[in-house]
Structure 1
Amino acid sequence: MRILLLAVAGLLLLSNQLFGQDKIDSKLLQEELEILGDIVIGISPKLSKEERNQISKLIEEKKSTIEGKAMTSLEYFNFLAELDLPTQFDEHASIQIDEDVLTPLLKEAKLFPLPIKILKDRVVVNGKRGMLPYASIIHSINGQAIDSVLRMISTDSGNLSKRRIEWQFSIDYCIKKPFTRSYSVAYSEPSAPEINLKKKIDGLDRSECVKQLNELLVYPLNRDSLKNFINTKYYPKHKAYYFQLNSFSWDENSNLGRFERFSNKKAKFDKCFKKIFKEVGKLGAENLIIDLRHNGGGEIHNPGLLYSYIAKNKFVQHARLEIPDFLLPQEEYIIKLDDKECKGEEDIADFMNAYRSNFEKGESSFFSEAIKEQEMLPNKHAFRGNVYLLVGGYTCSASSYFTALFKGEKRGVIIGEQIGGSHHSITAGTNITYQMPHTGFKVKVPLMVVNFSDELYEKVPELKVNPDIELGGEIYYQYVLNKQDPELETVFQLIAEGDKN
């Protein structure tokens, strides 16, 4: 991504307030813009000298455009969204609007009242009942074509951006057009897609909008199960074992279910995978479905560990971490070091010194071989049958690495959409969080870049992994219309076709 990802810290389901409308003096906003530039230039681990100079020049140009123009937090947020800084950060970086700076209460806003789902070639209503029929195709909102609306919200056309917009569309629209009270929606009903209809719908206050999402949302299917760390299910008809892993980091706060008793941190994933794959063998499964559609990543050692449970041959892992420098810019505005509160210079020095002990000085950066040419053999419980990997826009970071490893080793069929993250030069690892002095915006930036083996990049050269089977058009829409899981149903169809042959 060329720009920092702009995100609302509290999504619609959590947010209690909207942006304050008090004007902030342009001098203060210019100061924040300069601070932002210093942070990006000083920390982004992939920037070239030319790109640093380009960012400095762009910051100065943008400062001049707001000279004498006081803005509200909302106006400044939208101004930042249009910056085209070549930061070289990916999805791990963000500018967030914290609830502390969202005023007054949402009682002043009337939010777009319909949940949506963004398909490859259309946007549809994602509420099972409501003001428009479920799966109605939305053509425009208040006279603005729906494609234009999506571009207004975000210039990033990647699938991660689309999935995030789906989840918080109502508040995203409000950020761009905060004084909208009603919505004229042009649409087509599923029963008569050739007929264009129009309906004026009043916006909803926050509490009603939250109620709509909680009660009416259709996708993601089995939404409550996404709170679980792992979900498994056996389908006897297809001799298929379904294994959904929602993170490569062990989250003690998530619902660990039957894996809760695993307390030794180092062995947690291995014990967990061992239990699952012993069960796969005991059931006599011939097909394995691994679902990473909601896996946003985690610890870098765990994707290779999981792959060892499906590997047919030995494979080699390599991961190199690089940091340009251990001197942080604008230290006075740092509020968090990873997830720990930062109380001042002493905390920063202790944190960075401890971190630096794991790195060696190279020619132009500090580096650490997190995984050094590690030869991995198939686990003794490794599954040898057919493997289907489900991926999507939320498949990022360490999950991107697993997907690339899976594709590079040609282990099975990948089904879904182009994944949200890249396995090439991931900017990740330790995050530093700053809080801007005047708007209160929080800027989170990763310190390091992670690179994998040259062999992996030769096998999987694309920036983001594309699936072997990508569903779209009318076929996908029919699955949605029937409230089915398109990727899972496609797997079952492939298994059935294989059985016939």
Structure 2
Amino acid sequence: MSACSGTKKGYSPDKKFSPQQLQADFDLYRNILETRHPGLYWYTPKPLMDRAFAEGRAKLNDSLTETAFRNILSLVNTKIGCGHTSIRSSKAYEQYIDSLKSPPRFPVYLKIWKDTAVVVYNLDKKDTALTRGTIIESLNNKPVTKLLDTMYQYLPADGNNPVAKDQQLSNGASFGNLYTTIFGKSDSLKIGYRHAGGPLQYTFLQFFKPDTSAKTGDSAPKAVSQKTREEKLGEIRSLKIDTVRNFAVMDLGSFSPHLDLQSFFRQSFKELKKRKIKELIVDLRTNGGGAVHNANIFTRYLVNKPYKLGDSLLTLRKSARYNRYLRKDKLALWVLGFFTHRENDGYYHFSYYERHRFKPKKSLHYDGAVYLLTGGFSFSATTMVVHTLKGQENVTVVGEPTGGAAYGHSAFMIPDVVLPHTGVRFRLPAYRFVMDKKVPRDGEGILPDIYAGPTIEAIRLGRDYKMDKAIDLILEKRKD
């Protein structure tokens, strides 16, 4: 199916594909989206999407590498305004990157918000200029504001939600990775920076290559202890109880079906009841979603009345066309065949989720004060949780708006599509979900009750400003 080898040894990132191959893959990408994407024109009218497709295809008149082709696809893809529809590298490229030993890296990790870029980490410990809390003003004489405007055009988000895009760029090495993908690597970058209240200064940033050589006197590499499954799970979901101040923090980084969440929830809420914990902070800041079933079970432990997941859940049509290019699609096709039916609007509706009212848990239901921490990575199924609980008397949402749109999103089942010539993949959501038809369809996330956003000072000091705010709210309320 793919023109490039699927092995690490046979792949070269410099390999170029012919215009005919690129155009064929691009046309297939467009045809599949127009045939099967349930929300293609939600945020961008058809004439503007048609123009984006035409502009993208017009750039394919010369041979290009996979990376260059992906950049063109990403520019078109972002116009859709769907956070679940993203461009991915081929498996061969992915394996090639994994095979590299300590490749040179963009050394600086940044926190991005509202046209502001601040250093949160620097791989180069010898760099005394770009330390935590340093404000970045320019890269190679390009102002950060203009750089961000360019980089946003490559990042998918619901309705081009700016909080979601800022958070994507703030995720570890993501800013540096996207910067080099768009602008390429160079020996060094001229960085304009300043410390808080200080003058504009310049330094040169070089790509960082970790020293993997053994130090003198080392007889053998130290054995790395393997983490147990429980330790790995504990890094994603955990319950910690502050025995001094008598409140609990539940870190819930995903609703993935592979985390034994039903057992975790049952044990956690049992422990909260046993210890008579009256305040619970739930950290959803890194939770990009997962299984709707798990999100729903969690919600039922906290919600105080029956609720629906949303207003509508539908797909455009039942069609086997293009199935041979889809991966992990068997479940989606089975569900489409047995649980959706055509209604008067011509769409195929998943009526169970549209009409069923889920009830609160009777056993181990939590009635104490709940503080939900949210941000740009609070997405997909997590947005559904926040939507259901926000406004409940004992629930306070703290942080930044969710990265997932308050109106709804296209998701639920998301197979990969593999383009046959380049091997480039893209995610294709199967359903269009309207969570709340009363709110504007503008891509804006669910707003917090109490805003707690980043500040330069908080980053410099390494403070967890959202968690600090939630704890302050608990302690202040106790004084009342």
Same fold at TM > 0.5: yes
Q: Give the distance between the partners of 2:192 and 2:104, measured in 1 at CA.
A: 19
Residue 415 of structure 1 aligns to a residue in which SS? Answer: strand
Normalised by the length of structure 2, the TM-score is 0.80
Q: Are 1:199 and 2:203 counterparts?
A: yes
- The answer on whether the counterparts of 1:234 and 1:241 sit within 8 Å (CA) in structure 2 is yes
Deviation at 1:318, TM superposition (A): 4.0
1:403 lines up with 2:386 in the alignment: yes
Q: Partner of 2:460 in structure 1?
A: 481
How high is the TM-score relative to the length of structure 1? 0.77
Unpaired runs of 5+ residues, structure 2, are 1-7, 154-159, 213-230
Aligned with residue 438 of structure 1, among 414, 421, 439: 421
Aligned residue in 2 for 1:117: 111
Q: What is the letter of the counterpart of residue 381 of structure 2?
A: A
For 2:256, the equivalent position in structure 1 comes to: 249
CA contact 1:187–1:198 (8 Å) conserved in 2: yes
SS at 2:469's partner residue?
helix
Q: 1:40 Cα shift?
A: 0.6
What CA deviation, in whole Å up to 9, does each residue of 1:171-209 have, x standing for no partner?
21111122411012121235xx3222211122224888x
Asked if 2 retains the 8 angstrom alpha-carbon contact of 1:238 and 1:492, the reply is: no
**Offset at 1:84?**
6.6
Structure 2 equivalent of residue 376 of structure 1: 359
1-side partners of 2:476 and 2:415: how far apart?
50
How far apart are residue 487 of structure 1 and its match? Answer: 0.8
Per-residue deviation, 1:437 = 2.3
Shift of the alpha carbon at 1:398?
A: 0.9
1:381-422 CA-to-partner distances (Å, cap 9, x unmatched) read 222222111011111111001111111434422111111112
The letter of the residue matching 2:289 is G
What RMSD in Å do the two structures reach over aligned CA positions?
3.4
Aligned CA distance change for structure 1 residues 295 and 58 (closer, same or farther; 3 Å): closer
Aligned with 1:451 (options 398, 421, 434): 434
Q: Secondary structure at the match of 1:446?
A: coil
Aligned to 1:272, what secondary structure does the other structure show? Answer: helix
Aligned to 1:185: 191
2 CA distance for matches of 1:278 and 1:16? 52
Corresponding residue for 2:63? 70
- Shift of the alpha carbon at 1:109? 7.4
In 2: Cα distance, 1:281 partner to 1:500 partner: 23
Aligned partners of 1:79 and 1:375: how far apart in 2?
A: 43
Relative distance call for 1:351 and 1:421 in structure 2 (3 A) is closer
Matched, 1:158 2:162: yes
Q: 2:147 aligns with which of 143, 146, 149?
A: 149
Per-residue deviation, 1:489: 0.7
What secondary structure does 1:69 align onto?
coil
Task: Provide the C-alpha distance between the structure 2 equivalents of 1:308 and 1:424, rounded to a whole number of angstroms.
Answer: 21
Distance 1:188 1:106, change over 3 A: farther
Query: 1:460/1:469 Cα in 2 relative to 1: closer, same or farther (>3 Å)?
Result: farther
Match of residue 126, structure 1, among 120, 125, 146: 120
> Take 1:290 and 1:497, find their aligned partners in 2: how far apart are those partners?
18
Structure 1 residue 299 displacement after superposition: 2.5
Query: Which of 279, 294, 308 is 1:302 aligned to?
Result: 294
| Higher mean displacement: 40-49 or 419-428 | 40-49
User: Could you say what secondary structure the match of 1:175 adopts?
Assistant: helix
What secondary structure, in the 3-state scheme, does the structure 1 residue paired with 2:372 have?
A: strand
Distance in 2 (CA, whole Å) between partners of 1:54 and 1:461 is 16
Q: Which amino acid aligns with 1:46?
A: G
1:111 CA drift (Å)? 3.6
1:369 maps to amino acid: S
In the aligned structure 2, how far is the partner of 1:276 from the partner of 1:107? 41
The answer on 1:362 being equivalent to 2:366 is no
Deviations 1:214-248 (A, max 9, x none): xxxxxxxxxx9886341111123432111111222
Distance 1:468 1:16, change over 3 A: farther
1:30 corresponding residue in structure 2: 23
Tell me, in whole angstroms, the C-alpha distance in 1 between the residues paired with 2:115 and 2:453.
7
Q: How many Å separate the matches in 2 of 1:422 and 1:16?
A: 42
1:43–1:328 contact (8 Å) kept in structure 2: no
Q: Could you list the per-position Cα deviations for residues 461-498 of structure 1 after superposition, in whole angstroms to 9, with x for gaps in the alignment? A: 9842011222346xx33332222211111112122222
Uncovered stretches (5+) of structure 1, i.e. residues with no partner: 1-14, 209-223, 257-267, 339-347
1:289 Cα deviation from its structure 2 partner: 0.5
Alignment partner, residue 218 of structure 2? none
1:290-369 aligned at under 5 Å gives the runs 290-311=282-303, 313-319=304-310, 320-334=312-326, 336-338=327-329, 352-353=333-334, 355-363=336-344, 364-369=346-351
CA distance in structure 1 between the aligned counterparts of 2:137 and 2:232, rounded to whole angstroms: 32
The letter of the residue matching 1:272 is F
The aligned residue for residue 468 of structure 1 is 449
Cα pair 1:408 1:460 within 8 Å, conserved: no
User: Alpha carbons of 1:232 and 1:130: their partners in 2 closer, same or farther (altered >3 Å)?
Assistant: farther
Distance 2:279 2:135 in 1: 35
Q: Is the partner of 2:308 in helix, strand or coil?
A: strand
Does the 8 A contact of 1:245 with 1:292 survive in 2? yes
